[in-house]
């Protein structure tokens, strides 16, 4: 069966590789996650007055975009409207439940767009399709869908070219007619190069859902390889994940993932050619916590050690054992990603993981002249049988003081 070719917008998206997800809104003031209104059963008229204290005093869009850039991220997906129905943009008469009518008195999406442009970051718009605020969502669904479509039209026409839309909420009415032809048609007419993504949720990871969808989602789970043979078009994949257990800030959520785990997840995404969308939950005023900012800084340091490999690398037919895998960039080299190495050093100061020693890869059919670590150019001993495609090399441990979590060997 024929393999489809990615469209220019999808090819660009895949090369961007790593993005920042931002969940921020009225709920951030309560510090109990983005679903607090629904889960705590707060009456909507009581919840909605949070807009009167929503000042966005610490929201600095350019600083946020700069943080993303330093982390090695190339795009940002911001919640223009989440399930509570409050919009960070000027809805231009569709509703007064928006940022210009809040204490902020500003169009925060206009600021977001400008900040991204200034730092060379591609802006994406998250937009809920589920709405707890609008009575028509329950009482007059057709009317609600026109409100949703008109809202998206506002975003398509007042902020210049954007990278795409990231929808979320269709899973709330799985049997409903969401009139996606009309919604997506509006985007294709007004933003023809925008990616269209619609989150299928935790239960249907990797599902496409509609012919106009450009990327499937893997929420809080590592992506599986896409089976694209015979597809009518090339569809990309993206994993989205929280740093802790909440998308919006959880003030008492102290269970943060380690930088090692997050780096491993980024590598696992690139193994199958998928993007990694890592979420932050800013504080009530819009500032990023020191912990999340530092976490992103460390990931950026790891990415910079590997040049453009994370962005340019493509999945390879070369196979490794366990989590080990290979990427290719078209430069003639093969790049082997190695997990679970030990740190070399005195037994009193080192702890063992899987250890150093032989690592085996198959399907290596091109001649091999050398194998070396990318980070320090150390030459590694190897044996290679081109006929069978078997490559075995001696993976030395990290020098004491280093631990890259995932280390890359260059085969040339």
- Contact between 316 and 327 under an 8 Å Cβ cutoff? The reply is yes
pLDDT of residue 92: 98
Query: What tokens appear for 80 in the block?
Result: 């223009």
In this prediction, residue 354 has a pLDDT band, given cuts at 50, 70 and 90, of low
| Segments of 29-115 assigned E as strands | 75-81
- What residue ranges in 363-412 does DSSP mark as E strands? 371-373, 382-385, 390-395, 406-411
Domain range summary for the chain, segments of one domain joined by +: 8-312, 314-411
Q: Find the mean pLDDT for residues 155-183.
A: 97
CATH class of 8-312: alpha beta
Q: Average of pLDDT values for 120-137?
A: 98
Predicted confidence (pLDDT) per residue in 367-392, tens digit: 999 999 999 999 999 999 999 999 99
pLDDT of residue 161: 98
Q: Does domain 314-411 have CATH number 2.40.128?
A: no
Same fold, 8-312 and 314-411: no
Q: Which residues are 199's β-sheet partners?
A: 168
pLDDT, one tens digit per residue, over 292-330 is 999 999 999 999 999 899 999 999 999 999 999 999 999
Q: In whole angstroms, give the CA distance from residue 68 to residue 18.
A: 9
CA 401, CA 301: separation in Å to the nearest integer? Answer: 15
Percent of the chain with pLDDT over 90: 89
Average pLDDT, the chain: 94
Q: What confidence tier does 206 reach under pLDDT thresholds 50, 70, 90?
A: low
282-291: pLDDT as tens digits: 999 999 999 9
Per-residue pLDDT of 98-110, as tens digits, reads 999 999 999 999 9
Return the pLDDT at 346.
44
Closest of 87, 159, 85 to residue 123, by C-alpha: 159
């Amino acid at each position: 069966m024929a393999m489809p070719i990615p469209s220019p917008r999808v090819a660009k998206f895949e090369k961007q590789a790593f993005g920042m997800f931002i969940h921020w809104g009225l709920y951030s003031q309560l510090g109990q996650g983005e679903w607090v209104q629904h889960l705590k059963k707060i009456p909507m008229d009581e919840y909605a007055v949070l807009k009167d204290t929503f000042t966005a005093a610490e929201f600095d869009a350019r600083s946020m975009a700069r943080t993303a850039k330093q982390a090695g991220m190339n795009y940002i997906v911001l919640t223009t409207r989440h399930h509570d129905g409050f919009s960070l943009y000027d809805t231009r008469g569709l509703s007064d439940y928006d940022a210009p009518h809040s204490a902020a008195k500003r169009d925060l999406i206009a600021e977001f767009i400008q900040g991204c442009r200034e730092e060379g970051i591609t802006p994406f718009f998250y937009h809920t399709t589920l709405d707890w605020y609008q009575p028509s969502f329950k009482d007059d669904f057709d009317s609600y869908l026109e409100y949703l479509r008109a809202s998206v039209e506002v975003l398509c026409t007042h902020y210049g070219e954007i990278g795409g839309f990231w929808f979320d909420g269709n899973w709330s009415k799985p049997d409903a007619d969401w009139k996606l032809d009309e919604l997506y048609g509006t985007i294709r007419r007004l933003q023809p190069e925008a990616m269209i993504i619609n989150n299928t949720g935790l239960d249907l990871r990797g599902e496409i859902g509609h012919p106009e969808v450009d990327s499937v989602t893997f929420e809080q789970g590592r992506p599986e390889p896409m089976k694209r043979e015979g597809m009518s078009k090339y569809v990309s994949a993206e994993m989205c994940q929280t740093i802790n257990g909440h998308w919006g800030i959880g003030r008492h959520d102290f269970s943060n993932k380690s930088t090692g785990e997050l780096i491993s997840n980024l590598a696992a995404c690139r193994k199958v050619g998928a993007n990694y969308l890592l979420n932050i939950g800013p504080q009530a005023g819009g500032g990023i916590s020191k912990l999340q900012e530092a976490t992103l800084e460390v990931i950026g340091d790891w990415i910079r050690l590997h040049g453009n490999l994370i962005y340019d690398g493509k999945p390879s037919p070369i196979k490794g054992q366990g989590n080990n895998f290979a990427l290719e960039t078209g430069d003639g080299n093969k790049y082997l990603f190695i997990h679970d190495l030990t740190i070399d050093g005195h037994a009193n100061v080192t702890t063992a993981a899987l250890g150093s020693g032989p690592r085996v890869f198959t399907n290596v059919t091109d001649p091999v002249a050398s194998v070396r670590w990318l980070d320090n150019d150390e030459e590694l001993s190897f044996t290679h049988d081109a006929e069978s495609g078997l490559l075995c090399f001696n993976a030395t441990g990290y020098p004491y003081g280093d631990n890259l979590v995932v280390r890359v060997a260059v085969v040339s």
